[in-house]
Structure 1
């Protein structure tokens, strides 16, 4: 029985692959498929799934899209302290009882 396939990219699932590297991978896969390789086998050798390749080329020009995770606008967590709450915590933790701790460990 075969073990897990190690990714030649040297990283784990869900990794952020920069656009220049995506362009290179898509170009290598295109060349391999022009020379007769099957898409699934070529993707397996590179270390990505066929579905990943489809997501990367999911536009009208079939050019790889940039990953939008790094530039996504995210909402603040619902349990984030307000500025007033944060200041109150900081005043409380400045007491002599907590003076040996760093402020960043509390707020």
Structure 2
């Protein structure tokens, strides 16, 4: 499954029954809950990275990506828009890009 496919699935869950879909349940609880879950998963990924547990980090990274996409959906931000920003940054030094912000 690609990130685009996952984003489309998440988008389709916006109108699903929160009793039958974890994604719909998260989205029904609003941006704050979606952001909270993204933060929790990010911290868990950081912990596994520091511990050096590659298998757990891989699992937590998948959770981070999923919850990022849920949060973006809750904020009506399309993955395509995020990818456009990354494409525009491609070929630019990270140091230069940060200095231009």
Instruction: Return the TM-score normalized by structure 2.
Output: 0.32
Q: Whose helix proportion is higher, 1 or 2?
A: 2
Larger radius of gyration: 1
